[in-house]
Structure 1
Amino acid sequence: MKLYSVSDGPPSLACQQLLKALDIEYELINVDFGKSEHLTNEYEELNPQKEIPTLIDDDLIMGESNAILQYLADQYDSSGKLYPKEPKLRAIVNHRLCFNLALYYRNISEYVMAPIYYDYQRTPLGLKKTKMALDIFNTYLQRENSTYAAGNNLTIADFPLVTATMCLEAIDFQLDSWPYVVKWYENFKQKHPDLWEIAADGMREISYFEKNPPVSSVDHPIHPVRKNA
């Protein structure tokens, strides 16, 4: 098994967390986003979307971190707890995965990550959208009164939500206004320190680049590249 990953990318880190939780041996292949290695012809053959991560498991080649998480849990989690098969429980996990992808990580990434690596600015609108995402997640956790993102057991929904949230911690964004998010986030750290350390490695890298913005000499075909610090 191989995982093409970016070292500070929350979707990649979420997949690494699940692989660690499942105790699966795999080859980790770092893709240098700053050097646009994901835009090479070689990588495009693996992932026509030119996105990271990409998983290779025998003859299966797939991108999209949510799909990777779902596949790995279905294929390798003998306990059935990480991605429960009971329809209502699975529906909640699927919802949280979709919520993270469509709104939570999307808003956080635009506010935190894009201004570090590209020629974007943090704006009041970006902050408002980030707070809106936190408000919604806090409401879900409060309404369900659950220990984890999708119930009282660790599931694959927690990994992408944790790695999205750590982006905020990387820039010293205070979460005090969202007590249920804080409780869930700290619980994950305390109960799963080995999995948290995977996210923490990425967080330290993001935090470093927040203070020392990287300068890219490689033009990106979609996003305006940050040319100077």
Structure 2
Amino acid sequence: MGITLYHFPPSAPSRCALLVCKALGLDVDVQIVDLFAKEQLKPDFVQINPQHCVPTLTDGDCTIWESRAIASYLVNVYGKDDSLYPKDPKQRAIVDQRLHFDCGTLYPRIRAICFPVLFLGEVEIDEDKKASLEEAIGFLDIFLEGNNFMAGTNLTIADISIAASLSSIIAVGWDISAYSNVAAWFAKCSLEIPGYVEANQTGADQFGKAVKSKLAPGQI
């Protein structure tokens, strides 16, 4: 049995999982689960993942969801080396910290802005939510001070995860130019992450278009 990725292109975490597959050169069967159409609630998918979220990955008898868990699993099992997820405990701890920052801080602050627009009928963005996201991007700028990538000199799954998250809000129209380290890093990621345009930018653009279509003018 091969690897199957249950995927929704507008979802940043889902795009992270697909980008890691691309970075590792894996042959993956991608099955689209349309969250906008609530396909994640279909009984056959709920049987695979009772939490009914994407991305979900099946690899033989192993089923995993949560994009950062999927990313680390794929590198641990299929990576030709440990460059994307270092085995050195100190280096890995930094990668893990950045992944946890994305999962616990950056992406939730992006979601707090976009989810109510997409699904709850809100057309304006609360100023506190804007400030909260700006704070998170500011932290990224500090992480990158003196570093080429989020966890040091090399591209890792932390960069892939954070780039997928950040690309979503940039596609909505968020301006990151005030954060010079982040802007330079993001431009570098778009060129150096394998399959970036196909596996990430197209879906980010779909997400951005969906959010912008529901926002009142001048919100971003």
TM-score norm. by structure 2 comes to: 0.91
Q: Could you say which residue in structure 2 is the equivalent of 1:217?
A: none
Q: Could you say which residue in structure 1 is the equivalent of 2:199?
A: 198
Q: Could you say which residue in structure 1 is the equivalent of 2:217?
A: none
Deviation readout 1:114-148 (Å, 9 max, x if unpaired): 41343334111110111111111111111xx1111
Q: Could you say which residue in structure 1 is the equivalent of 2:139?
A: 136
2:131 alignment partner AA:
K
User: 3-state SS of the aligned residue for 1:28?
Assistant: strand
For residues 1-229 of structure 1, what are the structure 2 equivalents within 5 Å? 1-120=3-122, 121-142=124-145, 145-192=146-193, 194-213=195-214
Deviation readout 1:148-194 (Å, 9 max, x if unpaired): 11111111111110011111211221111211111110111133363
User: 3-state SS of the aligned residue for 2:58?
Assistant: strand
1:58 alignment partner AA:
G
Q: Give structure 1 regions of 4+ aligned residues with deviation exceeding 6 angstroms.
A: none
Tell me, in whole angstroms, the C-alpha distance in 1 between the residues paired with 2:23 and 2:191.
Answer: 15
CA contact (8 A) 1:13 1:198 kept: yes
1:54 alignment partner AA:
T
Listed as ranges, the gaps of 5+ residues in structure 1 are: 214-229
Identity rate, percent: 27
2:162 alignment partner AA:
L
CA contact (8 A) 1:5 1:52 kept: yes
Listed as ranges, the gaps of 5+ residues in structure 2 are: 215-220
CA contact (8 A) 2:19 2:194 kept: no
Tell me, in whole angstroms, the C-alpha distance in 1 between the residues paired with 2:134 and 2:7.
Answer: 28
Deviation readout 1:183-229 (Å, 9 max, x if unpaired): 1101111333632442111122123213434xxxxxxxxxxxxxxxx
CA contact (8 A) 2:71 2:157 kept: yes
Instruction: Give the number of aligned pairs.
Output: 211
CA contact (8 A) 1:10 1:164 kept: yes
2:36 alignment partner AA:
G
Tell me, in whole angstroms, the C-alpha distance in 1 between the residues paired with 2:212 and 2:74.
Answer: 36
User: 3-state SS of the aligned residue for 1:67?
Assistant: helix
User: 3-state SS of the aligned residue for 2:147?
Assistant: coil
Deviation readout 1:26-81 (Å, 9 max, x if unpaired): 11000010111112222221112121110000110111111100100000001111
User: 3-state SS of the aligned residue for 1:177?
Assistant: coil
| More moved, 182-191 vs 107-116 | 107-116
Q: Could you say which residue in structure 2 is the equivalent of 1:221?
A: none
2:38 alignment partner AA:
S
Q: 1:9 to 1:21 in 2, by over 3 A?
A: same
User: 3-state SS of the aligned residue for 2:195?
Assistant: helix
2:144 alignment partner AA:
L
Deviation readout 1:90-118 (Å, 9 max, x if unpaired): 00010010000000111012213441343
Tell me, in whole angstroms, the C-alpha distance in 1 between the residues paired with 2:115 and 2:188.
Answer: 25
CA contact (8 A) 1:137 1:181 kept: yes
Tell me, in whole angstroms, the C-alpha distance in 2 between the residues paired with 1:191 and 1:63.
Answer: 26
TM-score norm. by structure 1 comes to: 0.87
